Amino acid sequence: MRPRLLKVKSLPAAPEFPALPPGAAWSGWPESLAEEIARATVEAYRGSPDAVIWRELQDAAACAAWLRGHRDHLIAAGTGVVRREGETLAAVVTVLDPHMPEVAEILSIAVNPEARGLRLGDALIRISEWSAWQAGIRMVKLLVDARNERLASWYQRLGYVTVDEKWIRVQADSLPRRVVRAVRRRLLGK
C-alpha cells in the first residue's frame, strides 16, 4: 500500500458556498446522480495509482453501486456534480466518518480533464466544507498519496494540515475536547 497523509481542517466559521464558473451549476445528491458521479469519478481517476488499488475507481457501475451502498454515510449537500450546458464538469463525494461522526471526509474529487484550470477543485473542496458546516460538523479530513507533493501542497494552500502530535497540541484549544479525544484515539492510536 502506498504511504498516505491524513490531512485535516478545522472549520472555525461558516464557509460560504463557492462561486462557480459562469454558466456552471451545482447539483447535490439525489440517488439518481449515482451514475453521473460514478462516470465523472472513473474518468478523472483513469490511469491513476488510486484506480489500480480500488476497483470502484475502474468501473462506473461498481462506483455507482458503492455510492448507493454507502448512501447512509453520504453528506447529501456535499456529494454531487457541477454541470454546464448539460456536461458534467466535476464531481465530489463527501461522507460522515462512521468511526468519528463529528468529522466529514472528502472521499473523492473528480474534475473532467477538459474542465481543468477552471478552479473547480477549489470549488468542490469549498462545497464539501460548506456541506459539513450545514450538517453541524466542524472538521473535514481527506487522504492524499504522500508522494504526490503537488496535491499535498494544494491541500495545504486550502488550509489542510497533516495530522500529527503537534497538530493535536496546536488545535486542542480551538476544538471541542470530544473531537480532540476522538482524533487522538482513532487517528493516532492514543
Sign of CA dihedral 95, 10, 186, 177: negative
The size of the chain, in residues, is 190
CATH C-level class of 4-187:
alpha beta
- The grid coordinates listed for 145 are 498519496
Q: What does the mean pLDDT of the chain come to?
A: 83
- φ/ψ of 111, rounded to 5, equals -120, 125
Whole-angstrom Cα distance, residue 136 to residue 143?
22
Q: Please tell me the pTM assigned to this model.
A: 0.81
Average pLDDT estimate for 101-122:
90
**Domain locations along the chain:** 4-187
- For residue 30, pLDDT beyond 50: yes
- Residues 148-178 have pLDDT tens digits of 888 889 999 999 988 754 444 444 445 555 5
Residue bearing the bigger pLDDT, 164 or 72: 72
